[in-house]
Amino acid sequence: MKDILTAPFVEEMKRATANMYRLGWDERNGGNISYLLKEEEVAEYLDLTHVIRTIPTGFDASKLIGKIFIVTGTGKYFKNVEVDPELNLGVIRIAEDGTTAELLWGYRDGGKFTSELPAHLMSHIVRLEKDPAHRVVMHTHPTYTLAMTHIHELDDKAFTHTIWEMCTECIVVFPDGIGVLPWMVCGNNEIGIATAKKMEEYRLVVWGLHGIYGAGKDMDETFGLIETVEKAAQLYMLICNRPHLNTIRDEELKEVAEAFGLTYRKDFLNL
Ligand code: 13P
Ligand code: ZN
């Protein structure tokens, strides 16, 4: 059995959390990541018959029975993941009942998975139905995206349109757009259900006055989606109270989308 601390999936979690912390997105315990692993890759590092303990999830994830995830721990700080992965991360498998997580590794201090597990697992279920290659759900509190939710209308079309307008490549990176939820209490099944509903249409979901969710087939793609929104939101916050001399017009957004052969949200342009 190989040492799990050398596993590529642990390394990826360390790198992602460290990057996000240093970008200033994940203060204190802010943010969480869940990453769907292949059973055969985990079996190289862990005895899959050895369950350390079981933890109820509080919701039905029957569609994920037997699936294994590496997940950040609740209350744990992203800045600490790279120095002590076994304390701050856990590898869990969804048990036969669909409502229990079997802990295979991690959460060494008796801790458990993120409080946002409902939004993560419900989003995984939806995104896997859309794309079997889907693997990662990431939640974070990027500064400018969050700032923008204080001053911008919280509507899918309006928010996406403003972000697309900020830089030419946004429509190329997320032609499917951005879903936006109003302020809601976090950490419960209700926000999980609302997030997953948006994930039926989008790989990006903004939580008003809280943060953002991204979903993708690997860590880079998911991080890249969020990073691109955040860059555009930063531009918006820099220019929103100045006169606009130039802008990318809707005809031009259409031209870019067509030049790249994209299936995009045509109804989000005013043409
Ligand atoms: P956790 O510490 O439970 O992951 O919560 C952090 C967070 O960002 C809640 O939305
Ligand atoms: Zn949060």
Q: Give the model confidence (pLDDT) of 64-109 as tens digits.
A: 999 999 999 999 999 999 999 999 999 999 999 999 999 999 999 9
Instruction: Compute, in angstroms, the gap from residue 86 CA to the centroid of ligand 2.
Output: 22
Q: Which atom of ligand 1 is nearest to the CA of 140?
A: 8
74 lines ligand 1 (CB under 6 A): yes
114 lines ligand 1 (CB under 6 A): yes
Task: Based on the residue annotation, tell me whether 116 is a catalytic residue of this protein.
Answer: yes
SS3 243: coil
Out of 186, 205, 209, 210, give the residue to mutate to test ligand 1, the one with the largest number of ligand atoms within 8 Å of its CB.
186
Q: Give the model confidence (pLDDT) of 133-162 as tens digits.
A: 999 999 999 999 999 999 999 999 999 999
Which residues keep their CB under 5 angstroms from ion ligand 2?
Answer: 211
Which one, of 98, 108, 111, lies nearest residue 32 by Cα?
111
> Which tokens sit at 208?
């008003």
Q: Give the model confidence (pLDDT) of 198-215 as tens digits.
A: 999 999 999 999 999 999
Percent of the chain past pLDDT 70, that is, above it, reads 100
30 lines ligand 1 (CB under 6 A): yes
Instruction: Compute, in angstroms, the gap from residue 55 CA to the centroid of ligand 1.
Output: 17
Report the alpha-carbon distance of residue 87 to residue 209 in Å, rounded.
Answer: 29
Catalytic member of 116, 165, 227, 230: 116
For residues 142-181, b (16+ Cβ closer than 10 Å) or e, as one string? bbbbbebbeebebebbebbbbbbbbbeebbbbbbbbbbbb
209 lines ligand 1 (CB under 6 A): no
